[in-house]
Structure 1
Amino acid sequence: MLTVPVRQLGESERRAVERLLDRDPFAGAQVAERVAARGLAWWRADGRILGYGARRQLESICWVGGNLTPVLADPSAVAAYADLLAGEERFCSSIVGRADAVLQLWDRLCGHWGPARDVRPNQPLLAVDALPSVPVDQQVRQVRAGEVDALFPAAVAMYTEEVGASPLAEDGGRGYRRRVTELVRTGRAYARFVDGRVVFKAELAVVTRRTAQVQGVWVDPAWRGRGIATAAMAAVVRDALLRVAPTVSLYVNDFNLPARRVYRRCGFRPVGTLATVLF
């Protein structure tokens, strides 16, 4: 029997949650952004936060929403979360977080929620806090509001290639287009255009006071192998560090060696390993 129960956290424990998230600013960035934007009150959030540990000594949290994200979850916390979640229907589209916690959690939940569409057990988590030493592509810039139509096909191509499923499948892409439009509106979308066509793109998908997390990095297949990615990525890192956050972070599949070389040239260093379970 578990001696430390899992409980749903509310706004009264927000400071404890924020202190815990500060201990893992890169792996917990997505959760930190949601807490900063909407707090912990269930009627304002699009998910719930479970806590493990005594009220005055919170040890771990787990975001339960469109994604399931354990943060600072040791084996005891993982077991507690799994015991609770195993009795619930799965609503999340993925489980993502530090690899040890995610893989242990999935091992306990796979019999209840399986099968997964894909399991990616080794995704290096990288971060940089210094301006790139490599040349910057001056043609990479923030996407403007009137350029969403040009950006959207590239975003769909990136998502389909990365996730293995089209974002247009469920609702014709309306939800995904809203997301892309919001990234453009908030100055988080970058691209290089050639004759009105996107040949490179990336977004600051998550922004907290500790880090700007890059996702959606993509080069048009016709432009791959020409050596544009390093300078283009350096432009994104430079702008994000000067304008948005004190660090830039991202995670990448271990088998994507070309991307890992690009990030290394831009100054990224390893800060951990994530894993993702996709449904």
Structure 2
Amino acid sequence: MTDSLLRRAQHSLAPAQRRDLPVLQALCAQDPVATVVPAMHLDAALASGTVPAGMWVVRRRSGFSHDTIGLIWAGANLCLVLPSTGDEAADDDLRADIAAAVIARLSRPAALVGEARVTLDLWGRVEPWWGPAREVRERQASMLIDGPAHRPSPVSEPAPSLEAVLSLETVRRARDEDYDDLLPACVHMFIGEVGYDPMRHGRVAYEERLHYLVRAGRAFLQYGVVHGRRQVVFKADVGALGGGVAQLQGVWVHPDLRGRGLARAGLAAVIDTVRADTAPMVSLYVNDFNASALAAYRAVGMRTVGTFATVMF
């Protein structure tokens, strides 16, 4: 991609400025669940007055002016906020221009994540430059709950079996003193979900992130005594928080206790706590082939509101 080609394009990509923030926030508000990650960084920028380097504005040339029509968050993951114009040909031109600008101006992230239609379209255009992908997850259910969570019922949903666990403690926010117990559970979850050990690749950043979540009150856990040892049996994090939406990530149950209802009971407790004091809407996204996780999320009252996709490098 050459600079001359980019100059002739009808759409451009530029670093965001403080004057752009209210317009970008309004764009994210059109779909707060799909845009929670960019919205989180917008909220922080509006509060601090400092615009982060990873925030980019998509503009359309209109006569002698440029209209703001989209947003790209380019951090560890790249998220694209690009509402449809309703005109298929115009949308195709827009995405072609943005793909060209992304290739020319941004480095390949760890992943592309977001609304499936836009994310997969971008991937198809940048693949010759950024490929191959390590994995492409084309269909992930984007789920939401904005009311009280359904609690396990003694009739239809028996309480978790305690054959292998005793002294099941209350689900609560993690504290600094829990860190050494929480870290192995987080690593086990990450390996199973992402496919590599974060303690071998990017350990410092991974541990800094976990410390931040704990100190911000955004990491939740539950202890139990499993096979005679007190350890974490359930965990979940508020991995992103912005625009009135708290996105849950890293939901995990001890391997020896799966299928006993701990996920449903734990999620219900986390959802109600988060909705009470953090954000009115709680969301997450999950692979469409993960039937057990989908069943647990639906059981607590979450509903599917869209489709995400993730391209991992």
Shift of residue 87, structure 1, vs aligned partner: 2.7
Find the counterpart in structure 2 of residue 58 from structure 1: 68
**What is the match of residue 189 of structure 1?**
219
Q: Distance in 2 between matches of 1:199 and 1:78?
A: 44
TM-score w.r.t. length of structure 2 = 0.83
Q: Which residue among 161, 176, 195 is the counterpart of 1:164?
A: 195
Please point out which of 122, 131, 147 is paired with 1:114.
Answer: 131
Classify 1:31/1:154 alpha carbon distance in 2 versus 1 (closer, same or farther; 3 Å).
Answer: same
TM-superposition CA deviations, 1:149-195 (whole Å, max 9, x none): 11001001111110111111224x12111111111111111111113
Describe the shift of the 1:143–1:40 C-alpha distance in structure 2 as closer, same or farther (beyond 3 A). Answer: closer
C-alpha contact (below 8 Å) 2:11/2:98 kept by paired residues: no
Deviation at 1:79, TM superposition (A): 1.6
State how far apart, in whole Å, the 2-side matches of 1:111 and 1:56 are: 30
Give TM-score scaled by structure 1 length: 0.92
SS at match of 1:175: helix
Deviation sequence 1:178-227 (CA, Å, 0-9, x none): 11111111111111111331111000111124111100001111111222
Q: 1:127 to 1:36 in 2, by over 3 A?
A: same
| SS of 2:122 mapped into structure 1 | helix
The percent of aligned pairs where both chains have the same amino acid is 35
**Does 2:57 match 1:26?**
no
Structure 1 residues 70 and 41: alpha-carbon distance in aligned structure 2, compared to 1, 3 A threshold? farther
CA contact (8 A) 2:58 2:72 kept: yes
Give the secondary-structure state (helix, strand or coil) at the position aligned to 1:6.
strand
1:3-42 Cα deviation digits (max 9, x unpaired):
2333332111111111111111111101111121135999
Q: Which residue of 1 aligns with 2:23?
A: 16
Aligned residues of 1:8 and 1:51 also touching (Cα < 8 A) = no
1:92 corresponds to 2:109: yes
Structure 1 residues 31 and 133, CA gap change in structure 2 (3 angstroms): same
Residue 201 of structure 2 aligns to a residue whose secondary structure is: coil
**Amino acid across the alignment from 1:193:** Y
The verdict on how the C-alpha distance between 1:268 and 1:216 changes in structure 2, with shifts beyond 3 A counting, is: same
Q: Which structure 2 residue ranges, 5 or more long, are not aligned?
A: 1-7, 85-90, 154-158, 160-168
**Cα 1:249/1:33, change in 2 over 3 Å:** same
Aligned match of 1:271: 305
Instruction: Give the Å deviation of 1:73.
Output: 4.5
Counterpart amino acid of residue 21 in structure 1 = C
Quote the Cα distance in structure 2 between the aligned partners of 1:34 and 1:64: 11
Q: Deviations over 1:246-277 (max 9, x none)?
A: 11011001111101111111111111111000
Task: Provide structure 1 residue ranges, at least 5 long, that are not aligned to the other structure.
Answer: none
Q: Which has the larger radius of gyration?
A: 2
Matched ranges for 1:163-242 at <5 A: 163-171=194-202, 173-195=203-225, 196-242=230-276
Q: 1:105 to 1:73 in 2, by over 3 A?
A: farther
Alpha-carbon separation, structure 1, partners of 2:75 and 2:250 = 21
User: Structure 1 residues 224 and 146, CA, compared in 2 at 3 Å: closer, same or farther?
Assistant: same
Give the aligned residue type for 1:245.
A
CA RMSD of aligned residues (A): 2.2
Residue 155 of structure 1 is aligned with which of 186, 192, 211? 186
Q: What does 1:27-46 correspond to in 2, within 5 Å?
A: 27-39=34-46, 45-46=52-53
Provide the rounded CA distance (Å) in 1 between the counterparts of 2:48 and 2:18.
Answer: 5
Task: Give 1:46 shift.
Answer: 4.7
Give the distance between the partners of 2:215 and 2:185, measured in 1 at CA.
17
Q: Is the 8 A contact 1:33 1:207 kept in 2?
A: yes
2:100 to 83, 86, 98: 83
Distance change (3 Å), C-alpha of 1:7 and 1:88: closer
Q: Secondary structure at the match of 2:104?
A: coil
What number of residue pairs does the alignment pair up? 278
**2:151 pairs with 1:134:** yes
Mapped to 2, the partners of 1:257 and 1:198 lie a distance apart of 23
